[in-house]
């Protein structure tokens, strides 16, 4: 398939063939999704045989619209956001062919959920300072350590994991990237209850977990480079979606404003208009970022988008509470639940206000993202790093 019109004609024919062979009205959802993957209509920009056709990513929208119009099921991307948004692009860029063929299909269909074992209680926002160790033992690596703030760990079959394999070199140089089997008996998952009452995150303890070397992603000691690529994808996934106008918190607060004219003041009106304009600028910037992604890999712009998303969510949720007054402070339910998906705008105003506080921590703290924007987007001098040439084992902790 060559030009855009020809490509769309070819894609339409593929979609019609898929629907003819697997009628969505009578085909079980997993079977339909597996057939869609085999037809190259899962990720059209992925290579043939890996769920794609090697086409521009922008063609995916065309395919999705055709299938949605036909009533075909989708893969509910919110249930496996880490797998789809972070593990899949990383495996495509750095994984072996064997890894890609083993993991990508059940990842895309959602039959295997993924989580991300990056953050640690002793490393804070500095991923390169992590202390989880992986020691070579024959054809395996033996991993010991603790991870924290792990979304979906209680549902995950697999995890992307960064561990320290050489403590005798500077901290960025001694890391290696793995795929970890979450069903291993050495993996213990404990819920972390948040101030919203939910426990959507977890602590994960790794005790003598054996990971085959065949599940190493990238070269030994190259984990920082692989993890950086994952994090760029993560920030795009959180902050750079192609959302419609007045979606997210901007839409929630605008609706509150319209439904409660008795609460309006000139000052609140001025703040709402200012934040609405900022939200619209962020939305259009996110759309431009998605278009750039269609022709290349994510860059540091994703960090700016995630930074903007977190700041706006907190300011808008705070404004909503001010609009609602005492009614906004009422909380609906403190029952501990373990949601399958993250609801940034779900439930009541009190929930939204509390949940938005986490936006500036998850997916890279705002402080770290400001450094990335300053250095890689604005070209400002880098922050002094006194530990750059010191072996990790010699760093004070």
Q: What is the mean pLDDT of residues 170-197?
A: 95
Burial 81-97 (b: 16+ CB within 10 A, else e): bbbbbbbbbbbbebbee
pLDDT tens digits for 281-308?
988 888 887 777 666 666 677 788 889 9
Q: What is the mean pLDDT of residues 102-108?
A: 98
pLDDT tens digits for 225-251?
999 989 877 766 665 556 788 888 999
CA 339 to chain centre: 16
Pairing between strand 133-137 and 140-147?
Answer: antiparallel
Q: Are 33 and 110 in contact (CB under 8 A)?
A: yes
Q: Are 212 and 136 in contact (CB under 8 A)?
A: no
Q: What is the mean pLDDT of residues 116-121?
A: 94
Tokens 């795929």, located at residue: 179
DSSP labels, 161-186 = EEEES-TTSBGGGSEEEEEEETTSTT
pLDDT tens digits for 341-351?
777 787 899 99
CA-to-CA distance for 144 and 164, rounded, in angstroms? 10
pLDDT at 242: 61
pLDDT tens digits for 75-88?
988 889 899 989 99
Active site residue 375: no
pLDDT at 236: 62
Higher pLDDT, 325 or 97: 97
Kindly give the interhelix angle for 349-356 and 301-324, rounded to the nearest 10 degrees.
Answer: 150
**Global confidence as pTM:** 0.87
Which pLDDT band, with edges at 50, 70 and 90, does 396 fall under? confident
Backbone phi, then psi, for 51, in 5-degree steps? 90, 5
Q: What is the mean pLDDT of residues 50-72?
A: 93
Q: Among residues 105, 234, 301, 320, which one is catalytic? A: 234
Q: How many other C-beta atoms can be found within 10 angstroms of the C-beta atom of residue 60?
A: 19
Higher pLDDT, 168 or 388: 168
CA 177 to chain centre: 17
The conformation of residue 217, written as its DSSP 8-state character, comes to: E
Q: Are 193 and 199 in contact (CB under 8 A)?
A: yes
C-alpha distance from residue 51 to each of 34, 48, 395 (Å): 9, 6, 44
Instruction: List the domains of the chain with CATH numbers.
Output: 1-74 (no CATH), 227-378 (1.20.140.10)
pLDDT tens digits for 338-380?
888 777 787 899 999 999 998 998 877 888 889 888 988 889 9
Q: Are 253 and 319 in contact (CB under 8 A)?
A: yes
Output helix, strand, coil percentages for the chain, rounded to the nearest 5.
Answer: 50, 15, 35
CA-to-CA distance for 290 and 238, rounded, in angstroms? 12
Higher pLDDT, 139 or 303: 139
Query: What is the rounded (10 degree) CA torsion for 197, 200, 203, 204?
Result: 150
């Amino acid at each position: 398939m060559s030009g855009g019109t020809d490509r769309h004609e070819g894609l339409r024919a593929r979609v019609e063939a898929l629907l003819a062979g697997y009628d969505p009205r009578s085909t079980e959802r997993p079977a339909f999704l597996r057939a869609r993957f085999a037809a190259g209509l899962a990720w059209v920009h992925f290579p043939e045989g890996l769920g794609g056709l090697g086409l521009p990513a922008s063609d995916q929208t065309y395919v999705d619209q055709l299938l949605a119009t036909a009533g075909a099921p989708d893969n509910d991307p919110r249930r496996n956001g880490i797998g789809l948004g972070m593990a899949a692009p990383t495996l495509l860029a750095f994984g072996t062919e064997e890894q890609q063929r083993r993991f990508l299909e059940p990842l895309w269909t959602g039959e295997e959920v993924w989580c991300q074992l990056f953050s640690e209680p002793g490393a804070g926002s500095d991923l390169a300072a992590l202390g989880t160790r992986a020691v070579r033992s024959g054809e395996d690596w033996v991993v010991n350590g603790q991870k924290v703030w792990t979304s979906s760990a209680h549902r995950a079959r697999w995890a992307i994991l960064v561990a320290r394999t050489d403590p005798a070199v500077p901290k960025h140089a001694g890391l290696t990237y793995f795929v970890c089997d979450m069903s291993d008996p050495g993996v213990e998952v404990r819920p972390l209850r948040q101030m919203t009452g939910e426990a959507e995150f977890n602590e994960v303890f790794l005790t003598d977990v054996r990971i085959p070397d065949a599940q190493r992603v990238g070269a030994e000691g190259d984990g920082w480079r692989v993890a950086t690529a994952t994090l760029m994808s993560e920030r795009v996934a959180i902050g750079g979606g192609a959302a419609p106008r007045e979606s997210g918190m901007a839409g929630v607060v605008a609706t509150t404003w319209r439904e409660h004219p008795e609460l309006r003041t000139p000052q609140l009106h001025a703040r709402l208009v200012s934040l609405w304009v900022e939200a619209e600028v962020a939305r259009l910037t996110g759309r431009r970022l998605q278009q750039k992604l269609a022709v290349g890999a994510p860059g540091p712009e994703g960090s700016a988008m995630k930074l903007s998303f977190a700041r706006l969510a907190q300011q808008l949720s705070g404004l909503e509470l001010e609009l609602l007054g005492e009614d906004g402070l009422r909380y609906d339910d403190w029952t501990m639940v373990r949601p399958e998906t993250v609801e940034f705008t779900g439930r009541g105003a009190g929930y939204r206000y509390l949940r938005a506080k986490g936006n500036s921590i998850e997916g890279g703290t705002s402080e770290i993202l400001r450094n990335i924007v300053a250095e890689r987007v604005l070209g400002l001098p880098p922050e002094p790093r006194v530990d750059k040439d010191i072996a990790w084992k010699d760093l004070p902790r």
